[in-house]
Every structure is written in structure tokens, then in C-alpha cells.
Amino acid sequence: MKHFKLLAILFVFSGVAISCGQQKKIVTYKVKEGETMRVIAKKLDIPTKDLLRLNPAVGRRPKPNTEIVIPNTKTILNVQKVAVTKNEISLNTIQKDSIQNVAGLKADITRDFLLHSVRKGDTFYSLTRFYNVLQADLLALNPELSEGLKLGAIIKIKKRIKDELLDAIYTDTISENAAVKVALLLPFRAKVFDTLLAHDIFKNRALPNIVTDFYLGAELAVDSIRNQGVQIDFTVFDTEDRNTKINELIAENAFENEDVIIGSIYSDETKLLARSVTSPLVFPIYSKAQNSFKATNIVKTSPDKQLYKEKLLAFVSKSYTNENIIIVGDSTTASINEVREIASFLKKHEAVNEVHEIVPNYGYIAQERFLKMMQPDSTLIDNWVIIATDNDVVASDAINSLISFPEPPEPENEDETPQEKINYSVKLFGFEKYTNVTNNKLAQLKFVYVTATYVDESALSARVFNKQYLARNKALPSYYATRGFDVTYDVIMRLASGKSLEATFKEGISYRVESKFKLEKKPFGISQNNGLFLLEYQPDLSLKRLE
């Protein structure tokens, strides 16, 4: 909190104020019995929110004799008449001409704090999630928030960090008489499964489960936005077997008047569609083949894997102080080259002189090789280990080696002093989570990784979605059900603003149930989502969002 240095002037409503010397913009005031911040602000003829902003640690009902900061009325207000009786000052007539000086006070606050103007749709959850702060911190800086978020209010978020850049949050807006035409393309294969029992359709078949769950999530998103007054023409197409029905639908101009097309889930069908339609074509799930997309009307909603690496390395480089860095790869040529590229990138940091590289010998990395590169606790240097391989076996072996360190040998005779065990402080980094390693091990190493999905189960949006989905489908939502909801809700809500989908990309990041949409249009290329989370395992196995 900004601490103001108060000198020269003491202005007290409960007694006569005597001052001399240079006048200041702000002075102290001692709260009297029965006074609230609103009452004091009214006497000063200033907004209550400005008075609260000057006193972020003071609530709306301060105790008597509490000292607060107020604008110096002798410099920012034109006092027409002051009547003094029995050590009491009463302000009879006050004219407001304080705008310039109050602006100066606000400039001081803006310089030291990141501020946010509350907009329609803002919630405590959306603010804490975007700015990565606790709700308790917001309340401490802005006591007035105990009465809730008020449209247009300017609130302190946190202390400013030098050179910190933050993207804007997208604000959901619905234009008057909003109407959106949406086509959803999914391979239900109804003709094939028409004669089968439900048990036989979904047993040991991944595709029917993916398609059905995605549809159920999308359907819930459509109904949710309809309930907010948007007219939605929602058409679902069964694309049947791969590269069969899609050709027929294209020939029939089935998608000619759609505002947006969600699907296909197949990359080759998506490329085919992109050449045949002009509407935005939303590719709803991740595919390795999405890197080959070129058409300008395609919108990739899942970040490319290269972005995972870039985000992690940017974080490591930004957070580096004097740690010992070790990069782990596998024995393939591609992995060895990637390890070298990562080392070269990190060495560009002016403080990084050395980066250790380690790959398996005969398919295995012996613990002794790690220990030769690592710094013990006694040096007060932490070891940062980056796993730069998607080989689960190599990653698992490396993690096991980083958890259990060897005991010192027993003394050969009683006269020898036993050796102390050497311990190492290790922090693990990975481009993605390792599913074949237990959470306990990852928590021990304070594992930091990148992911495209993150959900706070206690958040209102997640609780509402889970409750509605459970009530409708008698089951909790799967990953693909949530994905169906997030993609469909985000696309339709953006179009409900009355703007083109591409135009909304410039207006900020949107957070849905578990997805982050940081969409951007590449010059003369496709649109893609760069929205990723950076998570860290805590000792209690919970996850903390770092970015």
C-alpha cells in the first residue's frame, strides 16, 4: 500500500486546525463518534469511493479516533465561509474545484498500483483468475468491495511490477436483437449405429463417446446463451464416415448462410470445408495435423504444441536468478537437437553461463550422472531440471532419480566419523504433465508445467456448469463435454456482440469453464488460440496457477 508522507498541515474536524508553511494535497483526519466514510466524504463534497481509495486499509465504518487521509480542503476546495465556535469548525459553503488535484492523487495511485475498471460481466472469480491474485488481497486493497463489485468502479488489483504487460479481459456483450446461425458438424454415424444397442455402441469405442459428450456440452452452451436473450439457429449435421457425407453437404451448399461452422473434428475434412465456405470454420479439438492448416477462415481453438515450450521457457528465463539448470532429453536425434536449442535459448539470459545437457546411455540415465551435474544444498543453489522429451520411460526414470538420493556408506570401523547425507533442492519443469508419474512425486519436485485446461472446481462457473450438466445428463461432464461447452459458448457469445468473430479477438482474453481463449489472427493466415496456463504442484498435491 502506498504510504503517504504527511507533514505541515493537520486538519481536524473535531478541533481547530492551525497550520503554516507549504500546503499539501492531503492531510490527516481523526474520525469522530458515529461518523462513517460516507458521512465524511459528504462533508468534503467528494465521492465516497475516492475517500475509500485513499484509505484502502480502512473500512466503511472506521472506529472513533481512527486517523485517515483526506484531501486538503484548503488547497483543493474553495471555502466560502468557516464558522468557529468552541473548538468546532463547520463548513457552511463549499464549492467543488478539486478535479485537478484529485486527478494528481489518482495519478500517484496509478503509478504504484495496477487498476481495473469494473465492467459488465466482471466477477471476483474472473478478476482473481485473470490477474492471478487472491480475493482476500482484492478486499484488503479495496475495502469497499465488501459490498460487491459495482459497475464503473476503479479498483486496485496489485502492486505494479516493472515492465509487466497484461492483456485485456474480453467482456461478454449482447447486441440488441442478437441472432446467430451456427452449424455443428460431428460424425455421429447414426446410420451405422442405428441397429445397435447403446451398450454395444459405446463399449470400447472412443469416437462415439467423444462425439456424444462434445454435443451434450455444446447443447448446454446454446441453451445457456438462448436464456440470455440471444436468438440462435442451431443446426447439427451428422457427417457420418470420414470424407463421405461431408462432400455431399458441400455439394448441397448446406452451410451457405451460417455465421459460424464448428467442426469438422477431422483435419482433412476441415481443409476441404475451408476451400468451400466463407464462414469462420472453428476447429474444436487438438490435432497434430492442425499445424498444416493454411486457410484464412480456420480458427484453431487448441494451442499448437510449440507454444507450450515457448511459454515454459519464457517463464524459466524470466524467473531465473542463480539456479543450476539441467535439461533432460532422450536418445533420438530430434530430442538431442531440441535439448541443444533450449540450452542455446536459455544462455541468452545475461546471467546464465552454463546449462547442463543429459540424455540416456543405452536407454537409461544413471543417477550418478545427475549427481555430478547437481549442486548440493550446502551451496544454497537450487537445481532446475527441465524434461524436454515426450518419452514417458526416460521422463519417469529421470524423475525417480531426482527424488531419492543415495545414503552415505557406513564407516568401516567405529573410529571413523559417519558421513552426512548430501541433499539437493530440485525443481522440475515440463512442457506437459506426465500422466505415468504419481502426483506425490510431482509434488515433491514442485513440478511446473504447461496446460491448455485448468478449472477451479470451487469457482461459480464450474459449479453451475457441473450442476446443470449433471441434472440434464445424469453424469458429471467429461473433458470433451466441457470442451464442447467452452468452444461453443465462446464462439456464439462473441458473435452475439454483433461484431465479426475476428474483430472480437482484439478485445481480449476470454475464460470459460476450463479453457482460456487468447485468439489472434495471423497476418494473411489462420486464427489461432494462444491461451495456455502455467501450473505448479503444491506440497498438499493441489495446483497453483502461476500464469
Give the containing element (helix H, strand E) for 266: none
pLDDT digits (tens, 9 = 90+) for 391-408: 888 999 999 999 888 777
Grid coordinates given for 360: 540416456
State the amino acid at position 82 in one-letter form. V
Q: Please check whether residue 355 is in contact with residue 340, taking contact to mean a CB–CB distance below 8 angstroms.
A: no
CA atoms of 28 and 25, how far apart (whole Å): 11
Identify which has the larger pLDDT, 458 or 143. Answer: 143
Residue identified by cell 446467430 is 180
Domains of the chain (ranges; CATH) run 1-164 (no CATH), 179-303+456-537 (3.40.50.2300), 307-407+421-451 (3.40.50.2300)
Determine what percent of the chain is predicted with pLDDT higher than 90: 48
Mean pLDDT of the chain: 82
Q: Please check whether residue 527 is in contact with residue 299, taking contact to mean a CB–CB distance below 8 angstroms.
A: yes
Which residues, 6 or more positions from 500, have their beta carbon under 8 angstroms from its beta carbon?
none
Q: Is 11 in a helix, a strand, or coil?
A: coil
Which residues, 6 or more positions from 211, have their beta carbon under 8 angstroms from its beta carbon?
186, 187, 188, 265
Distance, C-alpha 308 to centroid of its chain: 15
Name the pLDDT band for 18 (thresholds 50, 70, 90).
very low
Grid coordinates given for 91: 463548513
Tell me what pLDDT residue 161 has: 62
b/e map of 5-36 (b: 16 or more CB within 10 Å)?
Answer: eeeebebbbeeebeeeeeebbbbebbbeeebe
In residues, how long is the chain? Answer: 547
CA atoms of 525 and 214, how far apart (whole Å): 27
pLDDT digits (tens, 9 = 90+) for 365-378: 888 999 999 999 88
Torsion of CA 184, 126, 480, 466, to 10 degrees: -110
pLDDT digits (tens, 9 = 90+) for 471-518: 999 999 999 999 999 999 999 999 999 999 999 999 989 999 999 999
pLDDT digits (tens, 9 = 90+) for 304-321: 999 999 999 999 998 898
Tell me what pLDDT residue 100 has: 45
- The predicted model gives 275-302 an average pLDDT of 95
pLDDT at position 9 over 50: no
Q: Exposed (0-12), middle (13-18) or buried (19+): which is 300, by Cβ within 10 Å?
A: buried
Tell me phi and psi for residue 295, to 5 degrees: -60, 140
CA atoms of 293 and 271, how far apart (whole Å): 7
CA atoms of 103 and 109, how far apart (whole Å): 10
pLDDT digits (tens, 9 = 90+) for 37-93: 888 888 887 888 778 777 777 778 888 888 888 876 543 333 333 333 333 333 333
Q: What's the number of CA atoms in the CB half-sphere (13 Å) around residue 401? A: 22
**End-to-end Cα separation, the chain, in angstroms:** 23
CA atoms of 105 and 119, how far apart (whole Å): 23
Grid coordinates given for 377: 544444498
Out of 316-320, 379-383, 531-535, give the one with best mean pLDDT: 531-535
Identify which has the larger pLDDT, 51 or 239. Answer: 239
Q: Please check whether residue 512 is in contact with residue 521, taking contact to mean a CB–CB distance below 8 angstroms.
A: no
Per-residue CA distances from 23 to 8, 20, 35, 386 (Å): 7, 8, 26, 58
- What string of DSSP letters covers 97-118? --HHHHHHHHHHHHHHEEEEE-
Give the containing element (helix H, strand E) for 327: strand 324-328
Q: Exposed (0-12), middle (13-18) or buried (19+): which is 99, by Cβ within 10 Å?
A: exposed
Grid coordinates given for 543: 495446483
CA atoms of 381 and 452, how far apart (whole Å): 31
Q: Please check whether residue 469 is in contact with residue 146, taking contact to mean a CB–CB distance below 8 angstroms.
A: no
Q: What's the number of CA atoms in the CB half-sphere (13 Å) around residue 442? A: 23
Instruction: Kindly report which listed range (115-129, 301-315, 346-360, 418-432) carries the lowest average pLDDT score.
Output: 115-129
Q: Please check whether residue 157 is in contact with residue 131, taking contact to mean a CB–CB distance below 8 angstroms.
A: yes
Grid coordinates given for 61: 465504518
pLDDT at position 283 over 80: yes
Out of 183-197, 249-263, 394-408, give the one with best mean pLDDT: 249-263
Tell me what pLDDT residue 361 has: 87
User: pTM for this one?
Assistant: 0.72
Tell me phi and psi for residue 254, to 5 degrees: -65, -20
Tell me what pLDDT residue 98 has: 42
Q: Exposed (0-12), middle (13-18) or buried (19+): which is 329, by Cβ within 10 Å?
A: buried
Instruction: Kindly report which listed range (169-173, 198-202, 433-437, 443-447) carries the lowest average pLDDT score.
Output: 198-202
b/e map of 399-411 (b: 16 or more CB within 10 Å)?
Answer: bebbeebeeeeee
- What string of DSSP letters covers 371-386? HHHPPPGGGT--EEEE
